[in-house]
Structure 1
Amino acid sequence: MSLSNADKCEKGVRAMTRTKKFSKLFHELKRCREDEQMQKIEEMNGLIDEMNGKEFESIFTIDLFNKIHQMIEKKTLPLENALMLLKHIGYCKELKIICLESFDDSLLSESMNKMIIDENEKKKEEMNEKRLIDLCECYLLLSRWPSSKMDSIYVPCLLKVALKKDETEEAQKEVEMALLALGNIGLWEMKRELYLKETSEIIEYHRELHNLTQLAYQSAWNFLIYRLFTDKSLEEVITNELHFVGEARREFEELSKCVDWKRKEERRKEVKEVKIIWRWLNVIDYYFFSCTLWNEELVGLVNCIVQVLLASRDNHKDICNGCLDILRNTAINRNVKIDCLLKNGAIGAVLEEIQQPTINDDLIRNCYYFFLNISERSKEKDVNETEGEKRKEMKRKIFERMEEEGYEDDIAGFHDVVSFLNENYYFQLSFNTSDYFVNV
């Protein structure tokens, strides 16, 4: 057996050991005293930390969540202990960026909804505020499709926690958890008075004193920018009052400095900063896709995206493709000038990416759509003669570079590919670009 196969075998054994250990501990919970349960849950949480995506999905099934529901109902697992386990499952699910649908279809999801409503309806003197916070956090962190009908409960409850100014480690963890849960709220419509003043205060206070963890700060922006989906008037607040572009660039640069991009990716041991970078990529991509305001700081942010693309292309293909997603959307966004992409090396970086021997279909698609969008933009009518001359010069530079690399005909051919896919209902066809396009 070769060394690589031996390593794979060893990893498989370790994975089996983790999942078996977790299942054994979970099975033992109902036979333990409350204090023993807490000890076992701490052990289980340690195992969850080490799990990869496949292990995670194999363990946290509808059946397991239904069993937790039954144990809570039968009082063999106290609610506080259950919440301690569930909150950690939700935290790891978000940090590991795992798409988990099993919770939404479980009995536990329905019962937690009811518990949140019941706790919220209690008189002030009878309400257990900590329990309500824990319930809201668990539900939002675990659910892929949380109910929009209870925003008036979730949002004020968790923003109150997130507004804490205490900088102790425990308080920071509480704030991080609350903001992470809020960041998982979907793209639905929400009244401004429910969140804007408080969220702006959280962001502005951090910008001044840096009181939040990197994950908490990213989550605050995640929550706010997702509100753009139904309220485009937030563009002014987000761009010019809260300075999203400059903040995203600064955070992105700081995080990228913490990553050894030359180290080969090991998913299970991947550093936390890489996961937060991936979360920033998602929210920056959404911003470029949705926002129509020009901001001078966009030049710096695009440059930062290009640098991370170049650094990540060998060992972090998912990060590399995330950067290409963003560049593709900047090429679509008419408020991002094409010369911004040219000056920051975006065009050269994408051309180099096409030449990589390990390029896959997702990357190829993003590369060609990037140039397709630039090609479409170059056909726009010029506002004035000066702009027209600038655009001609840029087009000349772009196409000279593409011709040097042998891709001018390639990109032109991609127009035909896209036309073919659109005309032939591309969603019914293969998603492998190479089935329709030869990468020369």
Structure 2
Amino acid sequence: MIIEEEEKIEGKNEKLLVDLCECYLLLNRWASSKFLSICVHCLLKVSLKKEENEEARKEVEIALLALSNIAMWKFIEQNLYLKEIKEIIQCHQKHHNLTRLAYQSAWQFLINRLYEDYSLVEVVVNELHFGREAARELDELRGNVDWKRKEERGKEAKEVHILIRWLDVIGDFFFECRLSNEEYIGLISSMTRLFRASRDNYREINFFCICLIGTVADNRALEIEDLFKSEAIDAALEEIIRSNTKYSQIDFYLSFFRSTS
């Protein structure tokens, strides 16, 4: 159906094509290379909408969410997406026109491309300032969650779900990236604040944060002095001496200290 609609010379139903591409990508991370160029072009076109109304923002959100679901090991030529995704991210940085989920999804789509195209690192780190942007988003989302109230499983606030998505993309970024940048100090500081805020009622997020900081230490993306500045080492030490920390987790924290040393 995607091919048939795309190849129509007259009477092409753009709305139908968008819906088909979104469904295909959201249901299939293993998207065929045959369809990727069509879907990416179609959904980036939707994502570039500048209208301020709620309906347009929702359309952009769903389009970017679908794009973010393309697996990282799927190679896409830069000329099919880079100019457009940079414009989308930079426009939001200037005008804040995207929803939080849409903005996270735009970054997820771009970071996923690092796996097959490491030449993008310079753009991600120094041109689009991933470290600065991810830190700001984590801090703002953290401020919108009531960390004292324990949520029932499956009923967490929307902000919590987007926080977890940001931690996923940060993990993917540091797994691939070896380019150091001073903005990482702010990002690790934000993750440390999230680590402390979530330690009582959101242990999954709490442990996720320290795992990511350990990955940064392993990759030597920061100097040891930077880890001290971000208070990550103090936070890990605090967790070791807490009476309710599990033995299996204590072993991880000790491994964290071995990595930093």
Which of 36, 39, 42 is residue 157 of structure 1 equivalent to? 42
Whole-Å separation in 1 of the counterparts to 2:90 and 2:66? 20
Match of 1:409 in 2: none
Amino acid at match of 2:130: F
Which of 257, 272, 275 is residue 143 of structure 2 equivalent to? 257
Amino acid at match of 1:172: R
Match of 1:317 in 2: 203
Which of 219, 238, 255 is residue 369 of structure 1 equivalent to? 255
Instruction: Indicate the SS of the match to 1:261.
Output: coil
Match of 1:411 in 2: none
Match of 1:271 in 2: 157
Match of 1:334 in 2: 220
Alignment of 1:198-217 (within 5 A): 198-217=84-103
Match of 1:168 in 2: 53
Verify: 1:225 aligned to 2:111, yes or no.
yes
Amino acid at match of 1:126: G
Deviation at 1:277, TM superposition (A): 0.5
Verify: 1:181 aligned to 2:62, yes or no.
no
Match of 1:302 in 2: 188
Dislocated runs of 4+, deviation >6 Å: none
**Distance change in 2, residues 1:346/1:121 (3 Å):** same
Instruction: Indicate the SS of the match to 2:133.
Output: helix
**Distance change in 2, residues 1:118/1:323 (3 Å):** same
Deviation at 1:267, TM superposition (A): 2.2
Whole-Å separation in 2 of the counterparts to 1:266 and 1:324? 23
Deviation at 1:218, TM superposition (A): 0.3
User: Alpha carbon RMSD of aligned pairs, Å?
Assistant: 1.5
Deviation at 1:206, TM superposition (A): 0.5
Deviation at 1:360, TM superposition (A): 4.3
Alignment of 1:21-170 (within 5 A): 115-123=1-9, 125-170=10-55
Q: Which moved more, 1:337-346 or 1:203-212?
A: 337-346
Q: Deviations over 1:350-373 (max 9, x none)?
A: 122233344347644542332221
Whole-Å separation in 1 of the counterparts to 2:252 and 2:165? 19
Instruction: Indicate the SS of the match to 1:353.
Output: helix
Match of 2:232 in 1: 346
Instruction: Indicate the SS of the match to 1:212.
Output: coil
Amino acid at match of 1:331: A
Whole-Å separation in 2 of the counterparts to 1:229 and 1:321? 25
Identity fraction in percent: 56
Whole-Å separation in 2 of the counterparts to 1:292 and 1:163? 31
Equivalent pairs counted in the alignment come to 260
Amino acid at match of 2:79: E
Say which one has the larger Rg: 1
Verify: 1:292 aligned to 2:178, yes or no.
yes
Deviation at 1:119, TM superposition (A): 1.9
Q: Deviations over 1:206-241 (max 9, x none)?
A: 100000000000000000011110111111111111
Amino acid at match of 2:215: N
Whole-Å separation in 1 of the counterparts to 2:41 and 2:16? 15
**Distance change in 2, residues 1:249/1:120 (3 Å):** same
Q: What runs of 5+ residues in structure 2 fail to find an aligned partner?
A: none
Deviation at 1:194, TM superposition (A): 0.6
Match of 1:192 in 2: 78
Q: Deviations over 1:372-396 (max 9, x none)?
A: 2113xxxxxxxxxxxxxxxxxxxxx
Q: Which is bigger in relative contact order (C-alpha 8 A, separation at least 6)?
A: 2
Amino acid at match of 1:197: K
Deviation at 1:171, TM superposition (A): 0.2
Whole-Å separation in 1 of the counterparts to 2:245 and 2:25? 36
Whole-Å separation in 2 of the counterparts to 1:157 and 1:373? 44
Indicate conservation of the 8 Å contact 1:328/1:366, yes or no: no
**Distance change in 2, residues 1:257/1:268 (3 Å):** same
Deviation at 1:321, TM superposition (A): 1.6
Match of 1:395 in 2: none
Instruction: Indicate the SS of the match to 1:235.
Output: helix
Whole-Å separation in 2 of the counterparts to 1:279 and 1:172? 19
**Distance change in 2, residues 1:178/1:355 (3 Å):** same
